[in-house]
């Protein structure tokens, strides 16, 4: 919310659990949705220019469903630089990785994507290509078949 406060001209939408918003001051440019059904959350994502996924530290291993969904929707994302998601983040190509607990850096990343819709489109297409190759049912089947074959089970 500190980053959002620094960007009063940028309309932001937050989808979160109520507990994650407790104690936060919500700036006027932020609209919040809590406990919405998964299809509604995906609709918010599908109709956004990009996604911001701040994590609670550099070793957090969550957010994968959301970031892969963003990729499949051809949406670039801004995410905390975390070892838990490093395999999915190609900084500057599919996403922008920011240091944890850095509102100024997060603000700069949001402004960077907000001010450059063409870059968003290009990064989104890169992410969609990555997800198609690495985060799909067919890629999971290929990986499983390769694993089974390497162990002589297929």
Over the stretch 19-28, which tens digit does the pLDDT of each residue have? 999 999 999 9
Q: Which segments of the chain have a pLDDT < 70?
A: 60-62
Q: Is residue 145 part of a domain?
A: no
Q: Is residue 79 part of a domain?
A: yes
- CB burial class (10 A; 0-12, 13-18, 19+) of residue 28? exposed
Q: Is residue 69 part of a domain?
A: yes
Residue-number span of the structural domain to which 74 is assigned: 2-128
Q: Is residue 144 part of a domain?
A: no
Which DSSP string do the residues of 2-35 spell out, in sequence order?
HHHHT-TTS-EEEEE-HHHHTT----TTEEEEES
Distance CA 71, CA 40 (A): 17
Q: What is the pLDDT of residue 85?
A: 83
State both tokens at 27: 């700036």
Q: Is residue 143 part of a domain?
A: no
Q: What does the pLDDT look like over 38-53, one tens digit per residue?
A: 999 999 999 999 999 9
**Do the Cβ atoms of 31 and 56 come closer than 8 Å?**
no
Q: What is the pLDDT of residue 154?
A: 82
Q: Is residue 151 part of a domain?
A: no
Distances (CA, A) of 100 to 3, 103, 106, 150: 12, 9, 9, 39
Q: CATH no. for residue 8? A: 3.40.50.2000
Q: What is the pLDDT of residue 61?
A: 66
Distance CA 73, CA 13 (A): 17
Q: What is the pLDDT of residue 112?
A: 95
Q: Is residue 47 part of a domain?
A: yes
Q: What is the pLDDT of residue 56?
A: 76
Provide the number of structural domains found in the chain. Answer: 1
Residue 136 per-residue DSSP state: S
Q: What is the pLDDT of residue 25?
A: 96
State both tokens at 33: 């949705």
């Amino acid at each position: 919310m500190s980053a959002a406060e620094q960007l009063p001209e940028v309309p932001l939408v937050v989808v979160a659990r109520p507990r994650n918003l407790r104690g936060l001051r919500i700036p006027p440019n932020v609209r919040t949705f809590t406990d919405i059904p998964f299809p509604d959350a995906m609709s918010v994502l599908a109709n956004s220019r990009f996604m911001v996924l701040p994590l609670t530290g550099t070793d957090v291993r969550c957010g994968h469903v959301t970031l892969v969904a963003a990729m499949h929707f051809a949406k670039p994302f801004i995410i905390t630089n975390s070892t838990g998601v490093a395999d999915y983040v190609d900084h500057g190509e599919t996403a922008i990785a920011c240091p944890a607990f850095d509102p100024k850096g997060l603000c700069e990343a949001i402004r960077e994507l907000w001010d450059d819709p063409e870059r968003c489109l290009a990064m989104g297409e890169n992410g969609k290509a990555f997800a198609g190759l690495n985060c799909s049912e067919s890629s999971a089947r290929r990986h499983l078949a390769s694993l089974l074959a390497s162990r002589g089970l297929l």
